Structure 1
Amino acid sequence: MQIKRMLFGVICLSVVIAIGIKYGRSFSAHQEHKYTQAITSAHSPLIPLAIIGGGPAGYSAGLYGARQKVHTVVFEGARPGGQLMETSYVDNWPGNPHTLGKDIMDKVRAQAVLFGAVMVPLTIKSINTRTWPFELETHEGDKLYALSVVIATGATPKLLDVPGVKTYWGRGITTCAICDAPFYKDKDVIVVGGGDAAVEEALQLVGYAKSITICVRGSAVRPSAASFVERFNKEYSSIHMLYNTNIKQILGDDAHVQKVVLETNGVKDVRDIDGVFFAIGHKPNTDWIAPDMLKLHKDGFIDIDSHSQSWGSQSTSVHGVFAAGDVADNRYRQAGVASGDGIKAVLDALSFLREISFESTGKETFFVPKSRVLGELLPVTSHEVLSQKLKARDSGIVIVEFYTDACPTCVRMVKVVQQTLGEFKDQAIGLKVHAIKSADISRTYAIAKAPTVLIFKNGSEMARITDLMSQQDFNALIKGLL
């Protein structure tokens, strides 16, 4: 009996060790982590507290970290501000009723910067949790070392996997009514989804589209959206509900969406349509995390449930790495909750830094981003001026961004283009066109989404971008065309 118990104990210990190895940690190894001068000498540049992601969770974490006088770096990634930047008015942010999502995020970011948080417009490509300090690699190929990490990379809207979606993305298919509603004035559109997001998309379209059909896969919308449907019936004759309906295919003329194939209660129907807006949920942004670096749930969300009692409520499977916001939350998915999670995550991270006896010696080489020179986008309002600019740069690159006033993503893409122009200042020029006010130019170039960036070389269109692109990817695209 005693031998059996010993054998059972050995097996259990082996399982525990194997799990620890799989998720990049030894249960005893982190007890040995101590901050020493040897650590700083071998790992440079060093980041005591790295925040990966710049939405409500990331900015809130940055604010609290910097306020504790810890060198805090926020890697804002490709979508600074997160999903809130692409919403209209927010009524449930505490203390700020009926405020634009962009304004909320701008204020939180500014407050974090005020306390000393370092904002970096870089995207983290990978994290290595098998070493400590943790190794971070940017898309530019730089390697950085972090004593503690908070992952707040959020989530991105889902698209349906049906024929036509990839072909017509940005050509009649979108996920942002606040950005693209003006393109659909007096047109017929479909909104796909049955929750709050679908309702908000429809409300954004009311002032523009001739008719809006909300296609709901089930027999009813979610309870939180039910009151809005009642409001639709009373106030908005242009909004129509279609239940038990699935999109089977999206058709067009290669330039733009023209028809959609629907299936309602098993019966197929082909409808003429001008635009399709998806509002069917989000997927967590965890593709950049290797499977053996952190424990993820099967749906891709970071697991913070298994270790919350030991290391804090936002702890991941690796001690010293924490997660907050929609990247780890598949239940609440609210900006206010994400902000609170970011605060909890950074408090957990600060506790970890105390545990390893972190205290700046003044001799470390902390990471500081490189200063960047920004280029300028010249406004263009007529066909004639645009043609002249293209002809004048027959031997070079011309970057043209089409934007709208109510498009937060356009503002972020402008910054990307400006930084690229600064880097390639003698080889490219930048122009910007208001896609609605200069509708004739938009029609000529089949612009149906904001932002849209066209890249010309020798007068010919070489590339078309219909979504936000990371700084690194955009630079690489331009470099490849030179």
Structure 2
Amino acid sequence: MSLSEPRHARLVIIGSGPAGYTAGIYAARAALAPVLVQGLQPGGQLTITTDVENWPGDTHVQGPDLMARMEAHARALGVDLVADVVVRVDLSRRPFAVELDSGGRLLADSLVIATGATARWLGLPEEDQLRGRGVSACATCDGFFFRGKEVVVVGGGNSAVEEALFLTNFAARVTLVHRRDSLRADKTNQARLFANPKIEVVWNAVVDRLEATADGLALAAVHLRDVRTGEVRRLAADGLFVAIGHDPATSLFRGQLEMDDAGYILTRPDSTATSVPGVFAAGDVRDKVFRQAVTSAGMGCMAALEAERFLAGHAETRDLGVAA
């Protein structure tokens, strides 16, 4: 599809993870002729996940394979998939203007934002090699694979504590590593953590490097450095869970949509509707609690259905005014 001239669409979807593709599938079935801009990483975070065992209907599937199937499903239903990156949006009036890195421009009567979020990593050179081979940013996604194993969780907030507690359902031992001498997590979570005999806390330490097995295919150990003394010690570990936060991909929409302090898009209760009529947000871009493929897909469905209803009641293009 050529986008050399501005093109008008009833619905534009930004993002191609489970939320984006599901929104496209539902919108196509509603005859909205959706245009979906795939972004830098078509398929989203699942394309860097190996084993997925919590997707309904699949006892086991590879993350990239699951996303390839979603893309094929969307394409088969007529979703117009655009291999490009959105660089600018104007939500001050309808149709909304969506500018692409290629220089193309889309005009959208309604918009679904499904740009997702990215986990913060430690920045170690071994992380990329071992991601999906012992290194993870999602205990709910991958904890099942560490039954009877020894794992390390890095972080000091509620997310890290909750991940450590969750992992005790599977792991033989969980070591929580925190760079300070006290946790930021709330007192209730801390009490549960300290009461759990499976959990050990290592204070005032950071991960210095990761050690792979001889074949390089799995994590063997985590090397911890004491931030006070500089001493480094080796801790044998089968898994490392990085729980230092996520960053929602919402920079395009700052100053145009209402967001929380962390940059997640705010939506109405029981809805994907944002502060701008006709703009909907689905998936990790507005969900910092569950962050699961299945919940993202569910929100993608909601966004498409809400966009369909909005378009049915707002056939005329009209100025919306500048969003707060």
TM-score (norm: length of structure 1)? 0.50
How many angstroms apart in 1 are the aligned matches of 2:35 and 2:136?
38
Matched, 1:339 2:297: yes
| CA displacement at 1:274 relative to structure 2 | 12
How many angstroms apart in 2 are the aligned matches of 1:213 and 1:292?
41
| CA displacement at 1:173 relative to structure 2 | 3.4
Q: Higher Cα Rg: structure 1 or 2?
A: 1
| CA displacement at 1:225 relative to structure 2 | 1.7
Amino acid paired to 1:349 = A
Matched, 1:122 2:64: no
Within the candidate set 217, 229, 232, 1:270 is matched to 232
| CA displacement at 1:298 relative to structure 2 | 0.5
| CA displacement at 1:70 relative to structure 2 | 1.6
| CA displacement at 1:277 relative to structure 2 | 6.0
How many angstroms apart in 1 are the aligned matches of 2:164 and 2:209?
29
Amino acid paired to 2:263 = G
The alpha-carbon distance between structure 1 residues 117 and 343, as it changes in their structure 2 partners (threshold 3 A), is same
Matched, 1:108 2:70: yes
Whether the aligned pair in 1 keeps the contact of 2:151 and 2:171 (CA below 8 Å) is: no
How many angstroms apart in 1 are the aligned matches of 2:121 and 2:129?
8
| CA displacement at 1:143 relative to structure 2 | 2.3
How many angstroms apart in 1 are the aligned matches of 2:314 and 2:143?
48
How many angstroms apart in 1 are the aligned matches of 2:28 and 2:136?
41
TM-score (norm: length of structure 2)? 0.72
Per-residue Cα deviation, 1:318-363 (whole angstroms, up to 9, x for no partner): 000000000001111111110010000011111111112279xxxx
The alpha-carbon distance between structure 1 residues 263 and 340, as it changes in their structure 2 partners (threshold 3 A), is same
Greater fraction of residues in helix: 1
| CA displacement at 1:217 relative to structure 2 | 4.2
| CA displacement at 1:159 relative to structure 2 | 2.6
Whether the aligned pair in 2 keeps the contact of 1:295 and 1:317 (CA below 8 Å) is: yes
How many angstroms apart in 1 are the aligned matches of 2:52 and 2:224?
34
Within the candidate set 149, 152, 173, 1:214 is matched to 152
Aligned to 2:249: 285
| CA displacement at 1:140 relative to structure 2 | 2.4
Higher relative contact order (CA 8 A, sep 6+): 2
Aligned to 1:134: 96
Amino acid paired to 2:167 = A
**Unmatched 5+ residue regions in structure 2?**
176-197, 211-221, 318-324
The alpha-carbon distance between structure 1 residues 215 and 321, as it changes in their structure 2 partners (threshold 3 A), is closer
Whether the aligned pair in 1 keeps the contact of 2:264 and 2:288 (CA below 8 Å) is: yes
Matched, 1:84 2:46: yes
The alpha-carbon distance between structure 1 residues 100 and 248, as it changes in their structure 2 partners (threshold 3 A), is closer
Q: Secondary structure at the match of 1:222?
A: helix
> Which runs of structure 2 are paired with 1:49-448 in the superposition (5 Å)?
49-160=11-122, 165=123, 169=124, 171-174=125-128, 177-178=131-132, 181=133, 195-196=139-140, 199=143, 203=146, 214-217=152-155, 221-230=163-172, 243-245=201-203, 247-248=205-206, 250=208, 261-263=224-226, 269-271=231-233, 279-280=242-243, 281-289=245-253, 291-304=254-267, 307-308=268-269, 313-357=271-315
How many angstroms apart in 2 are the aligned matches of 1:271 and 1:232?
17
Aligned to 2:10: 48
How many angstroms apart in 1 are the aligned matches of 2:138 and 2:70?
31
The size of the alignment, in residue pairs, is 274
The alpha-carbon distance between structure 1 residues 174 and 318, as it changes in their structure 2 partners (threshold 3 A), is same
Aligned to 1:455: none
How many angstroms apart in 2 are the aligned matches of 1:247 and 1:326?
30
**Unmatched 5+ residue regions in structure 1?**
1-42, 182-188, 207-211, 234-239, 253-258, 360-482
How many angstroms apart in 1 are the aligned matches of 2:316 and 2:8?
12
Q: Secondary structure at the match of 2:271?
A: coil
How many angstroms apart in 1 are the aligned matches of 2:262 and 2:208?
27
Whether the aligned pair in 2 keeps the contact of 1:217 and 1:245 (CA below 8 Å) is: no
Aligned sequence identity (%): 33
Whether the aligned pair in 1 keeps the contact of 2:38 and 2:85 (CA below 8 Å) is: yes
Q: Secondary structure at the match of 1:262?
A: strand
| CA displacement at 1:282 relative to structure 2 | 2.2
| CA displacement at 1:194 relative to structure 2 | 8.7
Q: Secondary structure at the match of 2:170?
A: helix
Amino acid paired to 2:274 = T
The alpha-carbon distance between structure 1 residues 144 and 293, as it changes in their structure 2 partners (threshold 3 A), is same
Per-residue Cα deviation, 1:224-262 (whole angstroms, up to 9, x for no partner): 3211113899xxxxxx9762345447479xxxxxx9553
Q: Secondary structure at the match of 1:288?
A: helix
Per-residue Cα deviation, 1:417-439 (whole angstroms, up to 9, x for no partner): xxxxxxxxxxxxxxxxxxxxxxx
| CA displacement at 1:145 relative to structure 2 | 0.9
How many angstroms apart in 1 are the aligned matches of 2:314 and 2:33?
16
